[in-house]
Amino acid sequence: MDLSPLARMLIILGVLLVLLGVVILVNSAIGPAGRLIGTIPPQKGKLMNVAIIGCGNISQSHIAGWQRVDGARITVLCDPVLASAREKQQKYGLQDARITTDLAETLQSDAEAVSVCAPTALHAEVTLKALRAGKHVLCEKPMAMNAAEARRMVEAARASGKVLLIDHRYLYDPLIQAVLQNLDKLGKVFWFRIRSGHALPLGPGICKTGCLLDMGYHPLYTALEIMGPAVRVSAFRKQLVRPECSDDNGLVVLEHAAGMSILESSFSTPGPMGCNRPVEVYGSEGVIIANWFPRAYAHLFIKDQKTELPIQGTGWNIGLVQHFATCIRGDAAPISGPEKGLATMELQDRVAAAAQ
């Protein structure tokens, strides 16, 4: 069929407009570093009101994460030290958020979800109250002080029908995701090693909790994810450099059915990120060597061939909070739900007993 010049021009113009729309749509989903940020659209125009419980340092990661979720609105900042709540209100432009020292008032608010950023010793108490008040809960790590507390949290989540997500942040970190996505290339995985350390200022709550539980929690759930359940545990905890801490260095050796895990944690290694945060996975057919320092990288070695694995995505906090919002909206099952948190705390209890 012959088309007139005008008709051909109109067709071409239509195609160009479609292509322009696609470019605009893609660009709207790209973060400042050129990576897909995966922002979550509002659910049929409904806003998700959120409360932050505990406004210490870690709350900043949660607040920044919530500010990247479309349709989410932080409406309450709760902390027993009013100045901490006010400081976060000003820093993050949350002038419309109510600040309070009253947990009961917070749980009676219209917040649909809460981020529990209180000290570890309060995680179970605050989470239980929030679930019983009908709130979805994102709980900071470690899940609790021990497995008995974690078990009560699991039971409360089941009874409430609400989402309980535990901050297993490494599982949302692009570097660890790159490792997990390539495990099948390694053949039989038989050895895992990871180190987490820093020498940052610590509050009295974390000093009392100690490094083996607070910092050592990350390697534990990561080892469970990569190597499976532990059949034998050896552990050591030491106060070597920082007298304000109950312990500032920890070492855990896990025996699994398929191999071994070496897990190191420290509160006394100076420099950015402790100057070294290696992740090593060894298999019968290949090896992955990764590190967050001096920049995030992951190298896959198959025989003599080295491949740099792409590390794509957002910061762990954005991935974590966005996943939580997706779970609340019913579009995903929790990656680090209460059962995985409980499994980690049960292993943590075994670690604590071995380190005595």
- Residue 138: give its domain's CATH number: 3.40.50.720
Residue 354 lies in a domain: no
Whether pLDDT at 175 is above 50: yes
What 3-state class would DSSP assign to 288? strand
Q: Which residue, 113, 134, 168, sits at the end of a domain?
A: 168
C-alpha distances (whole Å) from 292 to each of 141, 275, 295 are 20, 9, 5
Q: Which amino acid is at 322?
A: Q
User: Of the ranges 83-87, 96-100, 274-278, which one carries the lowest mean pLDDT score?
Assistant: 274-278
Q: Decide: 249 and 219 in contact? Cβ < 8 Å.
A: no
Rounded to the nearest 10 degrees, what angle do helices 147-160 and 123-132 cross at?
A: 10
Contacts of 145 (CB under 8 A, 6+ apart): 120, 121, 123, 124, 209, 213
Provide the 8-state DSSP code for 43: B
Q: State pLDDT tens for residues 207-228.
A: 999 999 999 999 999 999 999 9
Residue 12 lies in a domain: no
Query: What is the model's pLDDT at position 348?
Result: 98
Query: What is the model's pLDDT at position 273?
Result: 87
Q: Decide: 141 and 213 in contact? Cβ < 8 Å.
A: no
pTM above 0.75, yes or no: yes
Do both 157 and 239 map to the same domain?
no
The total number of structural domains that make up the chain = 2
Do both 195 and 288 map to the same domain?
yes
Alpha-carbon gap, residue 277 to 104, rounded angstroms: 40
Q: Which sign, positive or negative, has the C-alpha torsion 135, 136, 139, 143?
A: positive
**196 has which bridge partners?**
265
Q: Decide: 155 and 164 in contact? Cβ < 8 Å.
A: no
Residue 215: give the domain boundaries: 174-313
Do both 69 and 154 map to the same domain?
yes
C-alpha distances (whole Å) from 79 to each of 54, 187, 240 are 5, 49, 32
Residue 340 lies in a domain: no
Residue 199 lies in a domain: yes
Q: What share of the chain is helix, strand, coil (3-state, %, to 5)?
A: 40, 25, 35
Residue 342 lies in a domain: no
Q: State pLDDT tens for residues 27-80.
A: 333 332 222 233 344 444 478 999 999 999 999 999 999 999 999 999 999 999
Do both 268 and 308 map to the same domain?
yes
Q: Decide: 332 and 326 in contact? Cβ < 8 Å.
A: yes
* CATH number of the domain enclosing 190: 3.30.360.10
Do both 123 and 95 map to the same domain?
yes
Do both 140 and 210 map to the same domain?
no
Provide the 8-state DSSP code for 39: P
Angle among Cα 194, 198, 199 to the nearest 5 degrees reads: 155
Q: State pLDDT tens for residues 17-42.
A: 544 443 333 333 333 222 223 334 44
Helix or strand run (H / E) with residue 77: strand 72-78
Query: What is the model's pLDDT at position 5?
Result: 57
Do both 143 and 250 map to the same domain?
no
How far the first Cα of the chain sits from its last, in Å, is 86
Alpha-carbon gap, residue 248 to 327, rounded angstroms: 35
Do both 70 and 97 map to the same domain?
yes
Residue 240 lies in a domain: yes
Written as six digits, the tokens of 309 are: 């694995």
**302 has which bridge partners?**
305
Q: Which of 25, 69, 24 is nearest to 46 (CA)?
A: 69
In the chain, which ranges are continuous DSSP H helix?
A: 5-28, 59-66, 82-91, 103-107, 123-132, 147-160, 174-180, 204-209, 211-214, 217-227, 316-328, 338-354
Do both 84 and 192 map to the same domain?
no
Residue 328 lies in a domain: no
Alpha-carbon gap, residue 199 to 265, rounded angstroms: 11
Q: Which amino acid is at 327?
A: C
Q: Decide: 167 and 336 in contact? Cβ < 8 Å.
A: yes
Residue 334 lies in a domain: no
Do both 301 and 182 map to the same domain?
yes
